[in-house]
């Protein structure tokens, strides 16, 4: 049997080893025409039965444990042409209501035309002796269901849709799949998980939809806004919309106004001051503004501050200012870098509120951060999702405007991580009379999701803010804390590679050498000399994902060094092994795991493509869920937000030029509790510190809080600038 790529085989399904009805993933044995040995086929197959004749298309792969397997990319049913084959096919159990005996009688009556008759006029089965009316109806219904499923799958596959996506589409639309996809293939990007604009666009082109079709332009606009949201923006300005449409969609600007108007009329886009928003993001920004103003407009009960210090520590002037502000304010922000006493002030604020008879809740955006807050305060702290009682099935929070939290005050830690949608949900659930205290380091990277909420609130000037700057004696002894502040102030860190230091710099210019040193530090030097656990204590943070010193390559190198013997499981070109360190990269409310959670692969079943990851609890992942996991020996600095690690190893080279930014370096260093090791060049370090340009996010929360945003445009007023400015080219 030839093992080249893109082959096809015809045969009958001998047996089905495994089938997952949720995602269609199937393992089966195929009896190939003209071959003695059965072939193991694997892939997403919506509907398949033992005894069924099929044609499969795909490629061979060599599984490390199970040997040669044929990975199915497309498949279609093949109906037998001989009388013997037709009889065997009908009697295989494929069609409910037909057994071996009745199959023989049906074929004896209709002969070679049997399948055509059942397909075109199944009621003629009543002509067959001893087939009752109920049996005929059962057979007709079963045949119709099978045929419709297969017709849908063949149609979808013929237009460039892989079997995996075809299964998802059929599960969503059922028998209406063909009509819905034909009518508007771009609906797939909104309604089918995993199908983005690019895939939907390819399908549309296969169906003959024009490049400038209104459906494509509208879907393209949503795609541009989705991309902008992925980059942290709440909206796109008109000029940038035009530029991106020309570059990415390859369409002219005059096509945009009618498409924008159609989307606006269908609640697909909001237009405001030549800004274009996805409606959920616009509602989130408007809602956050409204909630903050609602909270601040009510009078506040002034709390009495006692003379005695709760913990015997005397507060610094700015710390005391923060406590005094809470006593007289409804809303306030407490910000500051590491070692400035945010935790001390938070505890003192909590004590003040409780002494004043206030019912106080504490929360944070991530499980790790809420756990730290709980440990620091001695009180229960919840994630925002848990506090608002998120309901996975409905994809919404139980707590909100109609069912608010029964509290008098809320302390929110790591507020810089909260995007505009989550902040809107949180504030909606606060009672009018509640106090709100936002705590966070505004100089860290902003939220992964859209918005720059904490920064905008501070910069608006509408909310009282206390910024802690003094580093206290205990923290001052830490080179990590001291150097983090130096970097934030635009100064080079003080490097002392002595045995008492917690901040080290290892010089290496060549990227290959940097990788070798990072690998050796994680696998040998730090565990040997510091007793650090390579998986649980040491975290590599890279400014970039790709490149020789990026997280992707470092993960592969560290996996091979730290976990070479783990049983492998291949997924989309990557190997996952028992014992691997992995990270959840999107919120999965059904499983109770969230973006940024880290765990260890506990066990796996490669044949069924299922694995289990040990987080706080053991969580099961099937093939459809695996895109939510990534190796986490090395992660990007952006993905480290809200986390703390005993040891941080940071490769820093001029190869990372695009990402050499002060706030990114500052964030990476402040993730470390006990030790930082930078591997790279002083030049790269200097470039990062000197680059204090923070990539601008398109948000209007600051302006809304100030009352400086115009009205949402009425119907028919969607407009664009007359022309796109020609960019200046600098040699």
| pLDDT of the residue at 721 | 61
Q: Which two tokens stand for residue 84?
A: 């013997």
Give the model's confidence band at 725: pLDDT under 50 very low, under 70 low, under 90 confident, else very high. very low
Q: What does the pLDDT average to over 224-242?
A: 92
User: Are 699 and 455 in contact, with CB atoms under 8 Å apart?
Assistant: no
Query: Among 5-9, 55-59, 276-280, 707-711, which range has the highest average pLDDT?
Result: 276-280
**Mean pLDDT across the chain, nearest whole number?**
85
**626-669 pLDDT, tens digit each:** 878 999 999 998 888 878 899 999 999 987 777 789 999 999 99
**26-51 pLDDT, tens digit each:** 888 888 877 778 889 888 776 676 76
Of the two residues 473 and 373, the one the predictor is more confident about is 373
| pLDDT of the residue at 173 | 85
The DSSP code sequence of 501-551 is -SEEEEE--SHHHHHHHHHHIIIIIHHHHH---TTTTEEEEES-SSSTTSH
pLDDT over 60 (residue 572): no
Q: What does the pLDDT average to over 49-72?
A: 80
The DSSP code sequence of 217-262 is HHHHHHHHHHHHHHTT-SEEEHHHHHHHIIIII---GGGHHHHHHH
Angstrom distance (rounded) from CA 561 to CA 633: 11
pLDDT over 50 (residue 370): yes
User: Are 468 and 322 in contact, with CB atoms under 8 Å apart?
Assistant: yes
Of the two residues 524 and 1, the one the predictor is more confident about is 524
pTM: predicted TM-score of the whole model, two decimal places? 0.76
Give the model's confidence band at 711: pLDDT under 50 very low, under 70 low, under 90 confident, else very high. low
Which value, in Å, is the radius of gyration of the alpha carbons in the chain? 31
| pLDDT of the residue at 476 | 64
Q: What does the pLDDT average to over 331-344?
A: 92
The residues pairing with 678 across neighbouring beta strands, listed in sequence order, are 505, 650
H or E, element range at 569: strand 568-571
| pLDDT of the residue at 419 | 94
Buried b (16+ CB within 10 A) or exposed e, 264-302: beeebbbbbebbbbbeebbebbbbbbebbeebbeeebee
Per mean pLDDT, which range of 39-43, 308-312, 559-563 is the poorest?
308-312
| pLDDT of the residue at 641 | 81
| pLDDT of the residue at 10 | 84
pLDDT over 70 (residue 485): yes
**398-408 pLDDT, tens digit each:** 999 999 999 99
| pLDDT of the residue at 532 | 95
Label the pairing between strands 396-397 and 390-391. Answer: antiparallel
| pLDDT of the residue at 473 | 57
| pLDDT of the residue at 655 | 77
User: Are 508 and 680 in contact, with CB atoms under 8 Å apart?
Assistant: yes
Of the two residues 68 and 527, the one the predictor is more confident about is 527
| pLDDT of the residue at 204 | 87
Beta strands, E only, 365-481: 382-383, 390-391, 396-397, 409-412, 435-440, 465-468
Cβ within 8 Å of residue 515, ≥6 positions away = 548, 549, 553, 554, 557, 651
**251-291 pLDDT, tens digit each:** 888 888 899 889 988 888 999 888 999 999 999 999 999 99
**118-141 pLDDT, tens digit each:** 878 888 888 888 888 888 888 888
User: Are 550 and 542 in contact, with CB atoms under 8 Å apart?
Assistant: yes
Torsion sign over Cα 654, 657, 662, 664: negative
| pLDDT of the residue at 712 | 56
Query: Among 152-156, 162-166, 511-515, which range has the highest average pLDDT?
Result: 511-515
Of the two residues 475 and 431, the one the predictor is more confident about is 431
| pLDDT of the residue at 728 | 34
| pLDDT of the residue at 579 | 92
């Amino acid at each position: 049997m030839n093992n080249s790529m893109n082959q096809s085989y015809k045969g009958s399904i001998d047996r089905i080893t495994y089938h997952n009805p949720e995602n269609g993933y199937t393992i089966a044995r195929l009896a190939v025409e003209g071959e003695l040995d059965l072939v193991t086929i694997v892939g997403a197959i919506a509907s398949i039965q033992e005894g069924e004749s099929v044609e499969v298309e795909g490629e061979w792969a060599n599984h490390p444990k199970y040997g040669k397997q044929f990975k199915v990319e497309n498949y279609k049913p093949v109906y037998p042409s001989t009388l013997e084959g037709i009889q065997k096919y009908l009697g295989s159990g494929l069609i409910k209501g037909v057994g071996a005996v009745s199959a023989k009688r049906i074929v004896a009556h209709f002969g070679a035309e049997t399948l055509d008759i059942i397909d075109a006029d199944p009621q003629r089965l009543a002509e067959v002796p001893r087939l009752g009316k109920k049996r005929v109806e059962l057979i007709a219904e079963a045949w119709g269901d099978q045929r419709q499923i297969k017709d849908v799958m063949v149609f979808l596959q013929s237009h460039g849709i892989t079997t995996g996506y075809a299964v998802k589409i059929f599960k969503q639309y059922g028998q209406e799949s063909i009509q819905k996809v034909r009518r508007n293939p771009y609906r797939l990007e909104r309604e089918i998980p995993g199908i983005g604009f690019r895939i939907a666009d390819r399908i549309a082109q296969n169906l003959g939809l024009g490049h400038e079709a209104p459906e494509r332009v509208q879907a393209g606009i949503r795609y541009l806004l989705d991309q902008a949201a992925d980059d942290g923006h709440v909206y796109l300005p008109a000029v940038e919309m035009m530029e991106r449409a020309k570059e990415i969609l390859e369409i002219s600007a005059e096509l945009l106004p009618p498409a924008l108007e159609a989307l606006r009329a269908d609640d697909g886009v909001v237009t405001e001051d030549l800004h274009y928003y996805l409606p959920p993001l616009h509602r989130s920004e408007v809602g956050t503004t409204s909630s903050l103003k609602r909270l601040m407009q009510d009078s506040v009960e002034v709390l009495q501050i006692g003379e005695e210090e709760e913990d015997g520590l005397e507060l610094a002037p700015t710390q005391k200012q923060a406590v005094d502000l809470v006593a007289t304010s409804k809303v306030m922000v407490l910000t500051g870098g590491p070692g400035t006493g945010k935790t001390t002030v938070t505890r003192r604020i909590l004590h003040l509120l409780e002494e004043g008879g206030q019912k106080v809740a504490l929360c944070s955006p991530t499980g790790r951060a809420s756990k730290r807050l709980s440990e620091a305060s001695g009180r229960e702290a919840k994630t925002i999702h848990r506090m608002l009682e998120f309901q996975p099935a409905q994809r919404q929070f139980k707590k909100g405007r109609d069912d608010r939290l029964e509290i008098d005050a809320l302390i929110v830690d790591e507020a810089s991580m909260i995007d505009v949608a989550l902040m809107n949900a949180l504030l909606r659930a606060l009672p009018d009379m509640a106090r709100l205290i936002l705590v966070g380091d505004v100089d860290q990277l902003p939220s992964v999701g859209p918005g720059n909420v904490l920064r905008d609130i501070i910069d608006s000037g509408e909310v009282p803010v206390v910024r802690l700057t003094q580093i206290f004696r205990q923290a001052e002894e830490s080179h990590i804390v001291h150097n983090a502040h130096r970097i934030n102030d635009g100064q080079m860190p003080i490097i002392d590679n002595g045995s008492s230091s917690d901040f080290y710099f290892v010089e290496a210019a060549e990227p290959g050498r940097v990788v070798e040193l990072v690998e050796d530090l994680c696998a040998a030097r730090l565990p040997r000399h510091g007793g650090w656990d390579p998986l649980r204590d040491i975290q590599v943070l890279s400014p970039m994902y790709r490149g020789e010193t990026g997280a992707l390559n470092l993960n592969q190198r560290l996996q091979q060094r730290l976990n070479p013997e783990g049983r492998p499981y291949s997924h989309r070109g990557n190997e996952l092994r028992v014992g691997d360190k992995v990270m959840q990269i999107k919120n999965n409310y059904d499983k109770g795991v969230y973006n940024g959670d880290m765990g260890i692969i506990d066990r796996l079943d490669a044949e069924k493509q299922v694995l289990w990851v040990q987080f706080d609890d053991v969580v099961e992942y099937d093939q459809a869920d695996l895109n939510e996991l990534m190796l986490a020996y090395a992660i990007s600095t952006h993905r480290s937000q809200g986390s703390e690690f005993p040891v941080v190893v940071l490769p820093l080279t001029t190869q990372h030029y695009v990402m050499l930014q002060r706030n990114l370096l500052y964030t990476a260093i402040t993730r470390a509790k006990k030790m930082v090791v930078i591997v790279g060049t002083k030049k790269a370090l200097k470039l990062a510190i000197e680059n204090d340009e923070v990539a601008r996010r398109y948000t209007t929360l600051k302006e809304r809080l100030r009352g400086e945003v115009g009205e949402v445009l009425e119907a028919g007023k969607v407009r664009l600038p007359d022309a796109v400015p020609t960019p200046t080219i600098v040699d």
